[in-house]
Chains A and B, each alone.
Chain A
């Protein structure tokens, strides 16, 4: 059983389109992180959200933490081929110290 469920698992869209990736759980998280991983490389931390309802923006990427701190979303506006990669959400379950990862969303942006 996956503690963090990401959807969709695969997404292929055209350059310029918008997209949203979801990360859901039945557990409450004290913090949640999004990473991006390119083929053959290690994941790179994009953002950390810690407060329910928090929204953070990173250029064309918007990250939101759910009010109940059980879910998160990543929205990309006007996707570019450089956004292609594996997007991983990871969270610290409230009361624990372990970071758990979702299975990832493999995003392909076609020129």
Chain B
């Protein structure tokens, strides 16, 4: 158990819909990262937050947005969903950017299926 929690575990929805994925980082970690992993593919970095502020952006679509709240939990919002958005979405946390060699601890993921 990494200490990172993600909800829900599974999500099935239809094209055009909007969903919200939730992540709670490990106790003491200030930085949260979101990744997308499609079938049989590696991890694609989406976005990073540190202590409530956006820190870095990766290959995140404009239809996707995220935020980190004062209690440090984070939400990833996916809108106007398309079939190709079906994937595993992982949240990871670390102490802070650049500290501890940026070792990231991953949650169990949310499996999103868009029908």
Chain A interface residues toward B at CB < 8 A? 30-31, 33, 35, 40-45, 48, 50, 88, 90, 92, 97-104, 106
**Bound Cα distance from A104 to B4, whole angstroms:** 22
Interface contacts (Cβ under 8 Å), in number, total: 57
Number of interface residues of B (CB under 8 A): 25
| Contact assessment for A41 and B42 in the assembled complex, using a CB-CB cutoff below 8 Å | no
| Contact assessment for A43 and B97 in the assembled complex, using a CB-CB cutoff below 8 Å | no
| Contact assessment for B107 and A45 in the assembled complex, using a CB-CB cutoff below 8 Å | no
B100-115: contact bitstring with A at CB < 8 Å (1 yes, 0 no)?
A: 0111111111010000
Q: Does B45 contact A (CB under 8 A)?
A: yes
Chain B interface residues toward A at CB < 8 A? 2, 4, 33, 40-43, 45, 48, 56, 88, 90, 92, 97-98, 101-109, 111
Known: A97-B98, A101-B42. 13 other contacts (CB 8 A): A31-B102, A33-B101, A33-B103, A41-B108, A42-B106, A88-B43, A92-B101, A97-B97, A98-B45, A99-B33, A99-B102, A100-B45, A104-B43
**Bound Cα distance from A102 to B90, whole angstroms:** 16
Residue of B43, B106, B109 most packed against chain A (CB within 10 A): B43
| Contact assessment for A48 and B101 in the assembled complex, using a CB-CB cutoff below 8 Å | yes
| Contact assessment for B102 and A40 in the assembled complex, using a CB-CB cutoff below 8 Å | no
Partner of A43 from B45, B98, B102, B106 at Cβ < 8 Å: B106
| Contact assessment for A104 and B42 in the assembled complex, using a CB-CB cutoff below 8 Å | yes
Tell me the nearest residue of chain B to A30, going by C-beta. Answer: B101
Q: How far is the CB of A102 from chain B (nearest CB, A)?
A: 7
Q: How far is the CB of B36 from chain A (nearest CB, A)?
A: 12
What are 20 sample pairs from A and B whose C-beta atoms fall under 8 A apart? A30-B101, A31-B101, A33-B103, A40-B109, A42-B92, A42-B107, A42-B108, A43-B90, A45-B103, A48-B101, A88-B42, A88-B43, A90-B104, A97-B56, A98-B45, A99-B33, A99-B45, A99-B104, A104-B41, A104-B42
| Contact assessment for A102 and B103 in the assembled complex, using a CB-CB cutoff below 8 Å | no
Tell me the nearest residue of chain A to B33, going by C-beta. Answer: A99
Q: How far is the CB of B32 from chain A (nearest CB, A)?
A: 13
Partner of B105 from A40, A45, A97 at Cβ < 8 Å: A45
Collect the chain B residues with CB atoms within 8 Å of residue A33's CB: 101, 103
